[in-house]
Amino acid sequence: MIRITIIGSGNVAQHLIKAFSKSEAVEIVQVFSRKKEALASLVSFEKITDSFDSLQEADLYIIAVSDNAISEVSKQLPFQNRLVVHTSGAAPIETLDIKNRRGVFYPLQTFSKNTTIDFSVIPVCLEAENTFDFRVLEKVAKSISKSVYPINSDQRKALHVAAVFVNNFTNHLYQIGQEICKEHQVPFDVLKPLIQETAQKINTLDPIDAQTGPAKRKDSTTIEAHLEYLNPENQKNIYKILTQSIQNNGKKL
């Protein structure tokens, strides 16, 4: 059994505790949290501590706190030369204090509170400073997920930016779709199956091959009619810039 201590009590920490509790390869030794109540239903009370000095020995310490707290928390750990990782997609491995052996354990997903998550389908991106530590992280990750990837800090940065496009920006396009529906008294529900199918299609087809629509077929009559139809300036601008980008596909701009 790999002995793990989790530091933090937010969404990521909670989902990790739930996933590890079901794993037979790991044991949660302790959880560090200043808010003991938040974890009451997840871990037995005597395992929760709010003092760094009472942290026991473990094979792996997972710092699951907000990005801007990682550095400070890693400095406060009262030990050295142990394996310490953070769970952030945005922070480089160097954010962690150098007194310990460093790594990253980054589950790539948006976690919401109170939702059940099937951790087995969530990709876990791993980085470590040496092979032995990487193997430890790999064992831990594989005990809760089927998708485990070695991802260094530069790759993780790329993933983080790409995730902004496929998650944040995509969701904003859904919102614009809903706004257009509302303005014309159409139930947004009509569009939901199309949204699901668009996402599912790329499981079997590269996005560039799945592309359809007026921009792709350079149907300027329809494009003009759509621009005419749209009211808010930002919808028009987004329509223009994405249409242009689809039409220039393949050409480096």
Dist CA 102 CA 94 (whole Å): 8
* Per-residue mark of binding to a copy of itself, 89-108 (x: CB under 8 A): -x-----------------x
Q: Angle between the 220-229 and 233-247 helix axes, to the nearest 10 degrees?
A: 160
Q: Which is nearer to a copy of itself, 36 or 236 (CB)?
A: 236
Q: Mark the segment that binds a copy of itself (CB under 8 A) among 1-9, 22-30, 70-78, 189-197.
A: 189-197
Q: Mark the segment that binds a copy of itself (CB under 8 A) among 29-37, 49-57, 93-101, 192-200.
A: 192-200
Q: Which is nearer to a copy of itself, 1 or 207 (CB)?
A: 207
Give the one residue of 187, 218, 220, 224 binding a copy of itself; rule: CB under 8 A: 187
Residues 209-238 that bind a copy of itself (CB under 8 A): 210-216, 222, 226, 229-230, 232-234, 237-238
Residues 146-175 that bind a copy of itself (CB under 8 A): 147, 149, 151, 154-155, 157-175
Q: Which is nearer to a copy of itself, 40 or 194 (CB)?
A: 194
